[in-house]
Amino acid sequence: MPGYELFGAEEKKEVNDVLETGILMRYGFDGPRKGIWKSKELEQAICAQFGTKHAQLTSSGTAALTTAMAAVGIGAGDEVIMPAFTFVASFEAVLSMGAIPVLVDIDSSLTLAPAAVKAAITPQTKCIMPVHMCGSMADLDALKAICDEHNLILLEDACQSIGGTYKGKQLGTIGHAGTFSFDFVKAMTCGEGGVVMTNDEAIYTKADAFTDHGHDHLGVDRGADLHPYLGYNFRISELHAAVGLAQIRKLDKFLAIQKKHNLILRSYFEQIPEITFRTVPDPSGDSYSFLTWFLPTQEKTEKVIEAFKAAGILAGNFYWFANNWHYIRKWDHLKTARSLYPMNDAQKTAMLKLSDTSFEASDAIMSTCISTAISLVWTEAQIHEKGAKCLVALKEALS
Ligand SMILES: *Cc1c(COP(=O)(O)O)cnc(C)c1O
């Protein structure tokens, strides 16, 4: 999955271009920067690679989500429907806008269950935010239909599925807006960074200003810019963009390796009749960054985890059910509204309600699910060795 595994001369060259001029900021300094505009170049490369009309880089994926929400007008009192299995950044962004994250069940795609989304719609619902977890995608046709019916915004958190597609379109480019993260462990990295993608010029213009203190970027210099609305500083630096520029040129190669490695490893797991695999709404669009598989019961899943641990092969296998970062079960800070600063009442009430909301359907899925991260630097021999070891441990645990 992670682009950092194949960091090399290309990244160093791009970063060095920036170091040569010393202009680390993406805006202004037109003379001294000597034609080096890495952030602009990366935004153009993103548009070309993913087929989106507009791309606005940000300082992180979390900043990208926050920016996207601001640009589509999500704020105080608005409800954003999102899945109970995601990364904490998804609800952090909603909360930072003063809006209310409404967490609902996932299905065997590990993403939003359309029926659960429908059931959660209220007059306050403004947006549906699918999170394309672990390299694959949500059922976007079903979610889009719900959005159309209720006049809602579709915002894709595609931070974990860079390069995945749905019915021929890149994930992150299908909703009103979509985001990627380029943090250190994502499919391609800037070190830290993110992007908002949209085909809507008005959303893009707002995102562009929002990430830079509301500057309209229309003045002859920064001092002459107007500020049509409030913003923040969510700018990416030229150094980070330079890394991303080298990485995006290698992305197709990363994706091809991922697919190859994933399918070899999968062929071992397929030999165990009790194992089933994650539902992929468009199987041809999987980015293959993870191999996600299910066991018949929680007890058997826990046995497999123990067997993997004993065999020294647990690293890279994620049992999200017991993980602090990705599943609601362990998000006590959210469920008890443990905020450093006073939250608004509607937010607080919604957070506290999560403690006695049942996520039974998600629990049943997550407690039997393991995701295996796919490395770009495995040799074929290593994958076969890994597969054979997994097979031994699986047979033992399931006997
Ligand atoms: C990584 C990630 C983010 C946020 O990205 P950062 O760049 O680390 O802020 C958001 N959503 C999901 C699903 C992620 O995996």
**Domains of the chain as residue ranges with CATH:** 3-250 (3.40.640.10), 252-398 (3.90.1150.10)
Instruction: Name the helix (H) or strand (E) containing 44.
Output: helix 38-50
Count CB-CB contacts under 10 A for residue 339. 13
Nearest to 370 by CA among 286, 283, 281, 309: 309
Give 253-268 pLDDT, tens digit per residue. Answer: 999 999 999 999 999 9
> pTM score, two decimals?
0.97
Mean pLDDT, to the nearest integer, of 66-80? 98
pLDDT of residue 389: 97
Distance from chain centroid for Cα 308 = 27
Nearest to 164 by CA among 1, 314, 7: 1
Distance from chain centroid for Cα 241 = 18
Q: Which amino acid is at 204?
A: Y
- What number does the ligand 1 atom closest to the CA of 193 have? 7
What is the spatial distance between Cα 379 and Cα 331, in angstroms, rounded to a whole number?
A: 37
Smallest CA separation from ligand 1 atom 10, residue = 89
Cα(165) to ligand 1 centroid in Å equals 18
Cα(194) to ligand 1 centroid in Å equals 8
Mean pLDDT, to the nearest integer, of 349-354? 96
Cα(389) to ligand 1 centroid in Å equals 32
Share of the chain above pLDDT 70, in %: 100
- What number does the ligand 1 atom closest to the CA of 160 have? 15
Q: What average pLDDT does the structure give for the chain?
A: 97
- What number does the ligand 1 atom closest to the CA of 62 have? 9
8 A C-beta contact, residue 271 and residue 293: no
- What number does the ligand 1 atom closest to the CA of 60 have? 7
Cα(181) to ligand 1 centroid in Å equals 5
Give 236-253 pLDDT, tens digit per residue. Answer: 999 999 999 999 999 999
Q: How far is CA 155 from CA 65, 131, 159, 174, in A?
A: 9, 9, 12, 9
Nearest to 38 by CA among 248, 247, 249, 238: 238
**Please, which residues bridge with residue 317 across strands?**
372
Nearest to 136 by CA among 171, 105, 168: 171
Count CB-CB contacts under 10 A for residue 34. 11
Cα(65) to ligand 1 centroid in Å equals 9
Smallest CA separation from ligand 1 atom 6, residue = 61
Question: CA-based Rg of the chain, rounded to a whole angstrom?
Answer: 22
Q: How far is CA 2 from CA 70, 255, 279, 308, in A?
A: 29, 10, 23, 22
Cα(185) to ligand 1 centroid in Å equals 10
Q: At what angle do helices 251-269 and 380-398 cross, to 10 degrees?
A: 30
- What number does the ligand 1 atom closest to the CA of 131 have? 13
Q: How far is CA 104 from CA 80, 90, 143, 324, 327, in A?
A: 10, 13, 13, 18, 12
From 57, 60, 62, mutation site for ligand 1 pocket: most ligand atoms within 8 A of C-beta: 62
**Within the chain, what is the greatest distance between any pair of CA atoms?**
72
- The token duo for 252 is 């197709």
Name the 3-class secondary structure at 7.
Answer: coil
pLDDT of residue 2: 87
Name the 3-class secondary structure at 242.
Answer: helix
- What number does the ligand 1 atom closest to the CA of 194 have? 7
Ligand 1-lining residues (CB < 6 angstroms): 60-62, 86-87, 89-90, 131, 157, 159-160, 181, 183, 194
323 pLDDT tier (thresholds 50, 70, 90) = confident
Cα(179) to ligand 1 centroid in Å equals 9
What is the spatial distance between Cα 197 and Cα 97, in angstroms, rounded to a whole number?
A: 19
Nearest to 243 by CA among 5, 2, 10, 6: 10
Give 185-203 pLDDT, tens digit per residue. Answer: 999 999 999 999 999 999 9
- What number does the ligand 1 atom closest to the CA of 89 have? 10
| φ, ψ at 373 (rounded to 5°) | -75, 140
**Please, which residues bridge with residue 321 across strands?**
none
